[in-house]
Structure 1
Amino acid sequence: MVSYYHFQRMNKALPDPGSWDEYFETFLAGNVVWGSWFDHVKGWWKKKDSHPILYLFYEDMRKDPKREIRKIMEFLGKNLKEEILDKIVYNTSFDVMKRNPMTNYINEIKMNHNLSPFLRKGVVGDWKNQFTEAQNKQFNEYHEKNMADTSLDTHFRGLS
């Protein structure tokens, strides 16, 4: 939700998301540009039963990028030399990608980087600095209710 909010703030092609508090309610209601996040995620999660899809999580990539890249290699049936794997780990690190104009989308016509850079922070759990305790409680309840019919573990952790 936090990433969507900042992306919508900086993307001139999208409607202004309003304040964080307004966006929080809009997001939970599923009234964002791409529709309900919950429906979107659950729809793709169900596809794993009929399509070969590899799911990776940002938290896992930050924790152990080499392990996650090996998962991709295995999924694709590839076996790369260790030095190539190390180059991939380096060049796909958040800090390197943030400095690379090929990955950190810089288009001042469509994006207002004064409001928010395309690649913002890359910090796992930084959403805790955006949510109030009441919003965290509300989101956790909403998430539990809307994701109850799925086995997906989204790595969400409360403020407590």
Structure 2
Amino acid sequence: MAKTPPPDHFYKGTRMPALAPASTLDAVGVMEVRDDDIWVVSYPKAGTTWGQEVTSVIMEGGDLAKVKSKRLSERVPYLELGPLGQQSASYKRIDAMSYDVPRLIRTHLPYELMPQQWHTKKPKTLYVARNPKDTAVSCWHFTKINHFFGTRETFADFLKKFVEGDVAYGSWFDHNLAFWEHRHDPNILFVKYEDVKTDHRRMVKRIAEFYDRPLPVEMIDACVEHCTLDGTKDNRMSNHLGALYISQEKGTFHRKGEVGDWMSYFTIAQNDVLDSLYEEKMMGTGLTFDFEL
């Protein structure tokens, strides 16, 4: 009988979840990247589902009926997902996609682990970033319900590892700053989750223009309404992770999605620690985040 996979492992110095095994990551590193690919990249629990959904809607020209007819995981597959049960590794299904339309691909991979051809072919890439405090809270809740992520019973235990960068996909700071450094590359659009919450319509319009797929006014409005957090929570095509991934009795894939939810979890001492690290890591980078609206 096969052993239960470990909750995580190290790959080239970065802690990775068991659902992204080394063999899959090796193959992803040398996969074919197409010039017209559209990539959605983020650190875990930083607005990934929103980025996928808005990208899918824009690339379908605002045709919500078409979007709602197919699961999000099929429209924008998770690149580094390895083989599970009878399901082949995700990159194999991505390789087999038609050349007739651009492939939409999402990943949490850090900059240095992106496929080699992604660096050279430079396909359009949306990077969604979220402040580290809300990200930490959301990640902790997610590790408690996801079978393939290492779990820490208390938030204090998890935050210690988060601050050290010893969590799945590595340091939040390294991940965000690596893509931020390339924000001026013509193929990368760096978007903050907090800005989405502040002016959703403006961000949808900006992303559509980045993809060279500008939408009519009425389509933008429909896209904004469809891609709200409440909309994705209630949309069975984007909120569908089953028992294979999630312990349904412990929680749900989508939580609050609020800016400032961290204040219900951080102690004063914990906040001081993260503030100090944030000041050290972000100094001189020009990257700032809103921690409450």
Q: Do Structure 1 and Structure 2 share a fold, with TM-score over 0.5?
A: yes
Q: Does 1:44 align with 2:179?
A: yes
Secondary structure at the counterpart of residue 55 of structure 1? strand
What's the counterpart of residue 236 of structure 2? Answer: 101
TM-score, normalising length: structure 1: 0.90
Q: CA deviation at 1:46?
A: 1.3
Q: Does 1:126 align with 2:266?
A: no
Distance in 1 (CA, whole Å) between partners of 2:226 and 2:175 is: 29
Gaps of 5+ in 2: 1-135
Q: Does 1:87 align with 2:222?
A: yes
Q: CA deviation at 1:51?
A: 4.8
Q: CA deviation at 1:93?
A: 0.7
Does the CA contact (< 8 Å) of 2:259 and 2:291 recur in 1?
Answer: no
Q: CA deviation at 1:70?
A: 0.9
2:205 corresponds to which letter in structure 1?
A: R
Larger CA deviation: 16-25 vs 109-118? 109-118
- Which residue of the other structure, out of 184, 195, 199, is the alignment partner of 1:64? 199
Does the CA contact (< 8 Å) of 2:282 and 2:288 recur in 1?
Answer: no
Distance in 2 (CA, whole Å) between partners of 1:65 and 1:39 is: 27
1:68 corresponds to which letter in structure 2?
A: M
Distance in 2 (CA, whole Å) between partners of 1:27 and 1:107 is: 26
Distance change in 2, residues 1:152/1:21 (3 Å):
same
Distance in 2 (CA, whole Å) between partners of 1:30 and 1:13 is: 18
Larger CA deviation: 53-62 vs 42-51? 42-51
2:166 corresponds to which letter in structure 1?
A: N
Higher relative contact order (Cα pairs below 8 Å, separated by 6+ residues): 1
**Mapping for residues 148-159 of structure 1, pairs under 5 Å:** 148-156=283-291
Aligned residue pairs: how many? 157
Distance in 2 (CA, whole Å) between partners of 1:32 and 1:107 is: 23
Larger CA deviation: 102-111 vs 25-34? 102-111
Q: Does 1:24 align with 2:186?
A: no
Give the helix-richer structure, 1 or 2.
1
Gaps of 5+ in 1: none
- Which residue of the other structure, out of 127, 132, 144, is the alignment partner of 1:9? 144
Same amino acid, percent of matched pairs: 33
Larger CA deviation: 60-69 vs 103-112? 103-112
Q: CA deviation at 1:33?
A: 1.7
| RMSD value, Cα | 1.5
TM-score, normalising length: structure 2: 0.51
- Which residue of the other structure, out of 256, 261, 279, is the alignment partner of 1:144? 279
Distance in 2 (CA, whole Å) between partners of 1:4 and 1:53 is: 25
Q: Does 1:74 align with 2:185?
A: no
What's the counterpart of residue 53 of structure 1? Answer: 188
Larger CA deviation: 44-53 vs 3-12? 44-53
